[in-house]
């Protein structure tokens, strides 16, 4: 058993002391497998190091009557100019073990062949991972500490690691930290959330993960996105993958969606992917996931428009073509009548629209009204570019209904104009996802400070359409300008 009593860990920082762990208590019995969830920097790795005995707590203690491994598959201790064999020899010496039999095991398990006699500096990261894992397995422990192991090597090697660890050593205790929650849910029987230095324990993974996402959502709500706003919709689409990778809440939501998808809970999975996409609406790969889930759940129209969205955002057509064709045939439509529109790297108004644009522009033009699923899908089939989309939204009675006052002024040629706002510090600005994305789509300024000010003003405004128009927004979108002029030609229609 491992007993953690009243464990505290404080690190000195330039801004004073930071308490990473505060009063952590738990017991780990033989054979128990504990999975720890926590945000980046929550102290998961610190806890692992404290349990391993490699680091000392500031207060409290770790008692163990079983042998505890070093953090597994950890390759950092490899010396670059030692060979694989040297590293095996070193570990064998440190743990007083028979070098020859260890070497035989590592040779067999790592499948590195002659490379084992080469310097580690020549290894690829996959080869390092294999050597690290094989070396981790040469010493037997009662308790294994596993810190981020799931990203290791190819699928076949991953399976062999899992067999070695979770089948052959199933009787051992384990503490697992991973960014991949499915790894934790697959292998653990107890779960803990580490947040603000405190640990809370759960026996049910779904409960633990739901709460974990909540704590993360709360934390991110308090500290929203502060990076610079992309200059254009093109840049937005190019950056969004990286932004999504860095967005912990996005990743966590997507992971949960993946788990639901594997469990064939299609509707829940679709809803979770959509929830994630609300944070990063232009992330095309997850629109494919939304589409897959909707298709499985039987929502054919929604699936089709999600697939088309992915392509409009740059997903290669070949990846989704067969799915769209199948869906259209199910609706008794000829796929060749409505070819999928591919992404073009051009000014926003020339780009083919995607679901998030429909959402964004309806929100701007109609207030609370929205396209139905059928309308959305229809637009995805017919509308060629964002300019056309916006002109249709404007021509729709729902626009007139939402902007009577502004249209009144506009028809008289008295719509207010205003210069773009003064720049503010882009790092200090906080704005909603939709305002940020709208600023990118408008592409009215190249200056990060001005863009940040625009997004902040949009958030504060109660008539965003009027504000955008006062800046001269959409002035270079020909069809949109034309659609607005229609109101001047038919003044009777207004009021």
Partner 1 sequence: MASNAAPDTHAKPPLRESFAVQGRVVGALLIREVITRYGRHNIGFLWLFVEPMLFTLGVTALWTATKNLHGSDLPIAAFALTGYSTVLLWRNMPGRTIGAIKANSALLYHRNIKPLDIYLARVLLEAGGATISFIVLGVVFIAIEWIEPPEDILVVTAGWLMLAWFGAALAIALGTLSYLSELVDKFWHPFSYLMFPLSGAAFLVSALPVSFQEIVLLFPMVHGVEFIREGFFGSKIIAIYDLSYLLVFNLVLSVFALLFTRYVSRRVVPG
- Footprint of partner 1 on this chain (CB under 8 A)? 1, 3, 11, 27, 45, 49, 52-56, 61-68, 70-71, 74, 76-77, 79, 81-82, 86, 89-91, 93-96
Q: State the Cα–Cα distance between residues 55 and 395, nearest whole angstrom.
A: 67
Least distance from partner 1 to the Cβ atom of residue 82, Å: 6
Least distance from partner 1 to the Cβ atom of residue 46, Å: 8
What 3 state SS string does the chain have?
Answer: CEEEEEEEEEEEECCEEEEEEEEEEEEECCCCEEEEEECCCCCHHHHHHHHHCCCCCCEEEEEECCCEEEECCCCCCCCCCCEHHHHHHHHHHHCCCCHHHHHHHHHHHHCCHHHHHCEHHHCCHHHHHHHHHHHHCCCCCCEEEEECCCCCCCHHHHHHHHHHHHHCCCCCEEEEECCCHHHHHHHCCEEEEEECCEEEEECCHHHHHHHHHHHHHHHHHHCCCCCCCCCCHHHHHHHHHHHHHHCHHHHHHHHHHHHHHHCCCHHHHHHHHHHHHHHCCCCHHHHHHHHHHHHHHCCHHHHHHHHHHHHHCCCCHHHHHHHHHHHHHHCCCCHHHCCCCCCCCCCHHHCCCCHHHHHHHHHHHHCCCCCCHHHHHHHHHHCCCHHHHHHHHHHCHHHHHHCHHHHHHHHCCCCCCCCCCCCCCCCCCCCCHHHHHHHHHHCCCCCHHHHHHHHHHHHHCCCHHHHHHHCCCCCCCHHHHHHHHHHHHCHHHCC
Least distance from partner 1 to the Cβ atom of residue 144, Å: 13
Residue recorded with tokens 């050597």: 131
Q: Which is nearer to partner 1, 53 or 475 (CB)?
A: 53
Least distance from partner 1 to the Cβ atom of residue 78, Å: 8
Q: Which is nearer to partner 1, 149 or 301 (CB)?
A: 149
- Which residues are within 8 A (CB) of 450 and not within 5 positions of it... i.e. 6 or more apart? 420, 421, 422, 423
Q: State the Cα–Cα distance between residues 131 and 88, nearest whole angstrom.
A: 9
Least distance from partner 1 to the Cβ atom of residue 188, Å: 22
Q: Which is nearer to partner 1, 116 or 429 (CB)?
A: 116
Q: Which of 85, 88, 74, 86 is nearest to 152 (CA)?
A: 74
Least distance from partner 1 to the Cβ atom of residue 63, Å: 5
Least distance from partner 1 to the Cβ atom of residue 59, Å: 12
Least distance from partner 1 to the Cβ atom of residue 76, Å: 4
Least distance from partner 1 to the Cβ atom of residue 355, Å: 44
Least distance from partner 1 to the Cβ atom of residue 86, Å: 6
Q: Which is nearer to partner 1, 76 or 428 (CB)?
A: 76
Least distance from partner 1 to the Cβ atom of residue 282, Å: 36
Q: Which is nearer to partner 1, 74 or 287 (CB)?
A: 74
Q: Which is nearer to partner 1, 90 or 105 (CB)?
A: 90
Q: Which is nearer to partner 1, 52 or 232 (CB)?
A: 52
Q: Which is nearer to partner 1, 99 or 406 (CB)?
A: 99
User: Hey, what are 170's tokens?
Assistant: 């199933």
Q: State the Cα–Cα distance between residues 37 and 256, nearest whole angstrom.
A: 13
Q: Which is nearer to partner 1, 18 or 485 (CB)?
A: 18
Q: Which is nearer to partner 1, 63 or 485 (CB)?
A: 63
Least distance from partner 1 to the Cβ atom of residue 128, Å: 13
- Strand pairing class (16-28; 2-13): antiparallel
Q: Which is nearer to partner 1, 103 or 395 (CB)?
A: 103
Least distance from partner 1 to the Cβ atom of residue 140, Å: 14
Q: State the Cα–Cα distance between residues 83 and 186, nearest whole angstrom.
A: 35
Q: Which is nearer to partner 1, 140 or 207 (CB)?
A: 140
- Spatial strand order of the sheet with 59-64 comes to 16-28, 2-13, 59-64
Q: Which is nearer to partner 1, 63 or 262 (CB)?
A: 63
């Amino acid at each position: 058993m491992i007993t953690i009593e009243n464990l505290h860990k404080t690190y000195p920082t330039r801004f004073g002391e930071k308490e990473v762990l505060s009063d952590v208590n738990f017991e780990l019995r033989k054979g128990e497998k504990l999975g720890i969830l926590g945000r980046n920097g929550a102290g998961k790795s610190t806890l692992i190091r404290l349990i391993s005995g490699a680091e000392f707590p500031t207060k409290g203690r770790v008692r163990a009557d079983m042998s505890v491994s070093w953090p597994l598959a950890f390759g950092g201790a490899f010396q670059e100019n030692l060979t694989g064999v040297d590293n095996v020899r070193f570990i064998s010496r440190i743990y007083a073990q028979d070098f020859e039999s260890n070497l035989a095991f590592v040779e067999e398990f790592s499948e590195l062949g002659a490379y084992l006699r080469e310097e580690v500096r020549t290894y690829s990261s996959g080869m390092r991972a294999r050597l690290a894992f094989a070396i981790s397995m040469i010493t037997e422990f009662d308790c294994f500490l596993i810190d981020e192991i799931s990203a290791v090597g190819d699928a076949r090697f991953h399976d062999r690691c899992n067999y070695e660890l979770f089948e052959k050593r199933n009787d051992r205790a384990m503490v697992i930290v991973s960014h991949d929650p499915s790894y934790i849910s697959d292998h653990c029987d107890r779960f803990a959330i580490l947040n603000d230095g405190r640990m809370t324990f759960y026996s049910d993974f779904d409960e633990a993960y739901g709460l974990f996402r909540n704590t993360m959502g709360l934390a991110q709500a308090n500290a929203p996105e502060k990076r610079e706003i992309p200059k254009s919709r093109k840049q937005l689409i190019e950056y969004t993958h990286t932004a999504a990778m860095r967005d912990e809440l996005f990743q966590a939501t997507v992971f949960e969606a993946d788990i639901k998808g594997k469990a064939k809970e299609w509707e829940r999975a679709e809803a979770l992917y959509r929830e994630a996409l609300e944070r990063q609406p232009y992330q095309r790969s997850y629109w494919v996931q939304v589409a897959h889930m909707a298709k499985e759940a039987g929502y054919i129209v929604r699936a089709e428009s999600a697939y088309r969205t992915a392509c409009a955002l740059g997903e290669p057509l070949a990846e989704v073509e067969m799915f769209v064709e199948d869906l259209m045939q199910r609706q008794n439509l000829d796929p060749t009548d409505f070819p999928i529109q591919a992404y073009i790297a051009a000014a926003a108004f020339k780009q083919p629209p995607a679901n998030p644009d429909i959402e964004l522009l309806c929100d701007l033009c109609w207030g609370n009204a929205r396209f139905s699923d059928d309308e959305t899908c229809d637009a995805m089939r017919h509308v060629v570019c964002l300019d056309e989309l916006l002109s249709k939204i404007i021509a729709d009675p729902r626009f007139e209904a939402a902007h009577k006052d502004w249209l009144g002024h506009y028809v008289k040629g008295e719509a207010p104009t205003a210069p773009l706002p003064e720049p503010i510090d882009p790092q200090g600005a906080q704005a909603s996802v939709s305002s940020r994305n709208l600023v990118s789509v408008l592409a009215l300024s190249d200056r990060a400070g001005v863009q940040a000010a625009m997004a902040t003003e949009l958030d504060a405004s109660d008539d965003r359409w009027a504000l955008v128009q006062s800046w001269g927004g959409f002035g270079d979108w020909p069809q949109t300008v034309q659609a607005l002029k229609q109101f001047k030609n038919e003044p009777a229609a207004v009021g």
